[in-house]
């Protein structure tokens, strides 16, 4: 490739307001002198309707693997019916582990209660409840599995600190809920503390997500970079973008070791689709992030500064238009044209954007720590059964005659609340029981003992819906205790 060879990128116009904001973005990119060659793919509703359950044709995947850069407009995910979210599928399949969402206030030009806000949310993008592993196990009870891994946590947390260092940011805050999820969120918290210690130049703190989200909504100027798990990050970044003035303002990047995807953080806004009034800023700012990622810093800077100038000039779409603050209310196309007219200009009050050629925009290829070997020992098994009626004592009376032979019944819980021994009579019980069986008079449980126990359960007519092995790791329990235990 010569210096003048256009960089191939894959684009998708998406659904709802997607085509309108993509057209506006492409016009701006074209006028900015960005050197790009587009491969367009079809994604979203039309593809789902053809029966492709993940919303994307095989040929589209080939384009993404070829270009490794994807500028994507929002799509509409059909609800229910077995359809998988295309966004989740793309992020997982292409290993786009880091979702970067800058949320900035443009005071006094865009009306906001938070004039000093400049927060970057670094959201883990591949794990958590978004693994989409869900079950209906009984008539009454459903389950979603939350997966948090050590490598996943290490990658996103290190990414957040590297991002902070490269972008001259001073503090990284982790949001977790490890007062409740001590093992999964607890792992994220521990890894955060470990990695933070390697960045003494950057301040760090941890907050429980509920109070963290409240403080973010109330005092966003307290925060600089926030790193968090997938679901929390999804929720707080919409809050953060909205309180800057509009969810339509924020762009985001999804970065992996090999590929990257750039998109607005908002969805397809079906209620305003086709009206020509959508704010294209989210996708335009995502395209700025994309230009920095592919090394076209000059075009990125030009577009970003023209965009800031336009915000200053009060040329606003309806979502940020405010009488007395804004000067003109424009539709999507006029917004793009006004931006193009300002290419080459810089803001006079807001801080101009500045990007360097070769600037490190993403930190893929993060090395993972070598973990020492660990001694993993099975010490028991949790057996979940479907049974309607009765209380913990009734269930224990039914189970006790079936145990023995190396395992003893240690506890029964219902929806995580201990109901035996010494359950509270007030506890409401569903048809989903957890029986905790531990090694009896010895340190470990053999798989054959568990199989034999399950055989006895089945013969007695118990409906076993799930089992979970209980392990210790170097002697520490790898399972939670029940509430009330
Ligand atoms: P949404 O973000 O589409 O809309 C939320 C609100 O913000 C609406 O009032 C909408 O009119 C407004 N809004 C959003 N973008 C705007 C813009 N650019 N300019 C002006 N106003 C804007 O969220 P939703 O309504 O919950 O979801 C609609 C669809 O989008 C759903 O099918 C959802 O699955 C999908 N979605 C897709 C993505 C994506 O493709 N990355 C992300 C989120 C939601």
- DSSP one-letter string for 80-109: STTPPPHHHHHHHHTT--EEEEEEE--TTT
Mutation choice for ligand 1 from 267, 283, 285, CB with most ligand atoms inside 8 A: 267
For residue 49, give both structure tokens. 């309707």
User: How far, in Å, from the CA of 440 to the mean position of ligand 1?
Assistant: 55
Contact 119, 216 (CB under 8 A): yes
The backbone region for 289, taken as left when phi is positive above 0, alpha when psi lies in -120 to 50, beta otherwise, is alpha
CA distance linking residue 483 with residue 460, whole number of Å: 28
The residue nearest atom 31 of ligand 1, judged by CA position, is 76
Mutation choice for ligand 1 from 247, 275, 277, 331, CB with most ligand atoms inside 8 A: 247
Contact 111, 245 (CB under 8 A): yes
The backbone region for 477, taken as left when phi is positive above 0, alpha when psi lies in -120 to 50, beta otherwise, is beta
Mutation choice for ligand 1 from 269, 270, 282, CB with most ligand atoms inside 8 A: 269
For residue 375, give both structure tokens. 């001694």
The backbone region for 295, taken as left when phi is positive above 0, alpha when psi lies in -120 to 50, beta otherwise, is left
User: How far, in Å, from the CA of 145 to the mean position of ligand 1?
Assistant: 26
CA distance linking residue 131 with residue 125, whole number of Å: 10
Q: From the alpha carbon of 21, which atom of ligand 1 is closest?
A: 18
Please state the φ and ψ torsions of residue 454, each to the nearest 5 degrees. -65, -35
DSSP-derived letter for residue 130 is G
Can the peptide bond before residue 145 be classed as cis, meaning omega within 30 degrees of 0?
no
Low-confidence ranges of the chain (pLDDT < 70): 1-3, 357-365
User: How far, in Å, from the CA of 313 to the mean position of ligand 1?
Assistant: 26
Q: From the alpha carbon of 281, which atom of ligand 1 is closest?
A: 18
**pLDDT at res. 79:** 78
Strand partners, 176: 208
Strand partners, 86: none
Cα of 73 vs its chain's centroid, Å: 18
248 C-beta closer than 6 A to ligand 1: yes
- Cβ burial, residue 137 (10 Å; 0-12/13-18/19+): middle
284 C-beta closer than 6 A to ligand 1: no
Domains of the chain, start order: 1-95+245-355 (3.40.718.10), 113-237 (3.40.718.10), 376-477 (3.30.70.1570)
Strand partners, 342: none
177 C-beta closer than 6 A to ligand 1: no
Contact 85, 129 (CB under 8 A): no
What would the pLDDT profile of 413-463 be if each residue is shown by its tens digit?
A: 999 999 999 999 999 999 999 999 999 999 999 999 999 999 999 999 999
Q: From the alpha carbon of 78, which atom of ligand 1 is closest?
A: 32
DSSP assignment string, 413-452: EETTEEEETT--TT----SEEEEEEEESSSS---HHHHHH
| Mean per-residue pLDDT of the chain | 93
State the DSSP H helix or E strand holding residue 157, giving kind and residue range, or none if neither: helix 150-166
CA-nearest of 176, 137, 164 to 225 is 164
The residue nearest atom 6 of ligand 1, judged by CA position, is 269
User: How far, in Å, from the CA of 13 to the mean position of ligand 1?
Assistant: 14
269 C-beta closer than 6 A to ligand 1: yes
Per DSSP, the three-state class of 26 is helix
Per DSSP, the three-state class of 294 is coil
CA distance linking residue 76 with residue 14, whole number of Å: 8
* Integer angstrom CA distances of residue 481 from 223, 370, 396, 423, 425: 34, 29, 18, 14, 20
282 C-beta closer than 6 A to ligand 1: yes
319 C-beta closer than 6 A to ligand 1: yes
44 C-beta closer than 6 A to ligand 1: no
CA-nearest of 71, 70, 74, 56 to 16 is 74
State the DSSP H helix or E strand holding residue 134, giving kind and residue range, or none if neither: strand 134-136
55 C-beta closer than 6 A to ligand 1: no
User: How far, in Å, from the CA of 266 to the mean position of ligand 1?
Assistant: 5
267 C-beta closer than 6 A to ligand 1: yes
User: How far, in Å, from the CA of 353 to the mean position of ligand 1?
Assistant: 27
The residue nearest atom 11 of ligand 1, judged by CA position, is 269
**pLDDT at res. 425:** 92
Contact 121, 226 (CB under 8 A): yes
User: How far, in Å, from the CA of 161 to the mean position of ligand 1?
Assistant: 30
CB atoms within 10 A of CB 210: 13
DSSP assignment string, 338-399: HHHHTTT---SSSPPP---TT------SPPPPPPPP--EEEEEEEEEEE--S--HHHHHHHH
Q: Please identify which residue in the block is written with the tokens 């399950």.
A: 454
DSSP assignment string, 177-227: -TTT-TTHHHHHHHHHHHHHTT-TTSEEEEEEHHHHHHHHHH-GGG-SEEE
Q: What is the pTM of this model?
A: 0.91
User: How far, in Å, from the CA of 364 to the mean position of ligand 1?
Assistant: 29
CA distance linking residue 172 with residue 168, whole number of Å: 12
- Residues ≥6 apart with Cβ < 8 Å to 322: 111, 316
268 C-beta closer than 6 A to ligand 1: yes
User: How far, in Å, from the CA of 249 to the mean position of ligand 1?
Assistant: 12
77 C-beta closer than 6 A to ligand 1: yes
45 C-beta closer than 6 A to ligand 1: no
Can the peptide bond before residue 421 be classed as cis, meaning omega within 30 degrees of 0?
yes
Contact 244, 118 (CB under 8 A): no
381 C-beta closer than 6 A to ligand 1: no
DSSP assignment string, 215-262: HHHH-GGG-SEEEE-HHHHHHHHHHHHHHHT-GGG-EEEEE-SS-EEE
- Residues ≥6 apart with Cβ < 8 Å to 49: none
């Amino acid at each position: 490739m010569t210096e003048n060879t256009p960089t191939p990128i894959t684009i998708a116009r998406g659904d709802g307001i997607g085509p309108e904001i993509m057209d506006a973005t492409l016009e701006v990119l074209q006028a900015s002198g960005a050197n790009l060659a587009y491969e367009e793919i079809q994604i979203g509703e039309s593809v789902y309707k053809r029966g492709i359950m993940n919303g994307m044709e095989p040929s589209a995947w080939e384009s993404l693997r070829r270009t490794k850069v994807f500028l994507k407009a929002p799509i509409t995910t059909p609800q229910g019916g077995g359809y998988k979210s295309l966004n989740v599928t793309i992020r997982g399949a292409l290993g786009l582990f880091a979702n970067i969402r800058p949320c900035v206030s443009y005071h006094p030009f865009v009306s906001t209660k938070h004039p000093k806000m400049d927060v970057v949310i670094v959201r883990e993008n591949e794990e958590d409840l978004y693994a989409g592993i869900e079950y209906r196990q009984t008539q009454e009870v459903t389950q979603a599995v939350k997966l948090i891994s050590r490598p996943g946590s290490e990658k996103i947390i290190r990414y957040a600190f590297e991002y902070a260092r490269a972008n001259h940011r001073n503090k990284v805050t982790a949001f977790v809920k490890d007062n409740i999820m001590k093992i999964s969120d607890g792992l994220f918290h521990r890894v955060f503390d470990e990695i933070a210690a390697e960045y003494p130049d950057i301040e760090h703190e941890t907050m429980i997500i509920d109070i963290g989200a409240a403080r973010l909504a109330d005092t966003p100027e307290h925060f600089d970079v926030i790193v968090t798990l997938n679901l929390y990050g999804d929720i707080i970044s919409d809050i953060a973008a909205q309180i800057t003035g509009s969810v339509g303002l924020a762009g985001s990047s999804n970065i992996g070791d090999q590929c990257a995807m750039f998109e607005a953080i908002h969805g397809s806004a079906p209620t305003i689709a086709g009206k020509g009034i959508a704010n294209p800023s989210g996708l335009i700012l995502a395209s700025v992030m994309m230009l920095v990622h592919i090394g076209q810093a000059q075009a990125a800077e030009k577009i970003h500064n023209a965009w800031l100038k336009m915000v200053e000039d009060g040329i606003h779409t309806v979502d940020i238009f405010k009488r007395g603050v804004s000067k003109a209310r424009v539709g999507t196309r006029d917004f793009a044209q006004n931006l193009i007219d300002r290419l080459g200009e810089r803001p006079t009050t807001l801080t101009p954007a500045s990007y360097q050629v070769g600037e490190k925009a993403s930190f893929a290829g993060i090395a993972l720590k070598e973990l020492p070997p660990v001694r993993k020992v099975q010490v028991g098994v949790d057996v979940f059964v479907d049974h309607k009626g009765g209380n913990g004592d009734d269930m224990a009376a039914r189970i006790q005659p079936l145990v023995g032979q190396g395992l003893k019944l240690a506890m029964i819980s219902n929806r995580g609340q201990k109901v035996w021994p010494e359950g509270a009579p007030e506890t409401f019980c569903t048809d989903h029981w957890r029986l905790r069986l531990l090694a009896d008079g010895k340190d470990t449980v053999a798989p054959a003992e568990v199989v034999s126990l399950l055989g006895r359960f089945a013969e007695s007519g118990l409906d076993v819906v799930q089992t979970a092995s209980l392990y210790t790791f170097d002697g520490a329990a790898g399972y939670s205790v029940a509430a009330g235990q």
